[in-house]
Structure 1
Amino acid sequence: MRLEFVENGPIRLEGGRFRVRVGEREEVLEKPRLSLCRCGASANKPFCDGTHKRIGFQAPGGVLEVEGD
């Protein structure tokens, strides 16, 4: 799995199948990419809704790659 920390933006996960649990809610999403809120202001947490652009969120970019055994 690859996580990209977009400069001044969300965390993007690449993988294809994601099981998301938030409180009592659980869903499985089949997508090539998923964007998660990093600014804390999204109205659709944990997902990014683009609010980071409006509020001027700033953070450096980076990449984290998780390798299986």
Structure 2
Amino acid sequence: MSDDKKADVDSETILMTLDQIGQTIDIMTNVVGRLRGYITEQVDNKVTDELDLSEGQQPLIHKESQTLH
């Protein structure tokens, strides 16, 4: 195989790989954002419950799904 042909194949492979890496990063960014939102929601609920308890109120039962979508 000539050096020019080998360089073309290598360039195509590199570009395809970079595209796949970019797609993976996009997906992982989405997952991290969802997890961050879920954790923030859980922390906010815990703080609210603790404030309610400190004021002598009964804690609210949170009927939120534990499943991440």
Tell me the TM-score normalized by structure 2.
0.25
The higher relative CO (CA closer than 8 Å, separation ≥ 6) is in 1
Q: Which has the higher strand share?
A: 1
Q: Which structure has the bigger radius of gyration?
A: 2
**TM-score scaled by length of structure 1:** 0.25
More helix by share: 2
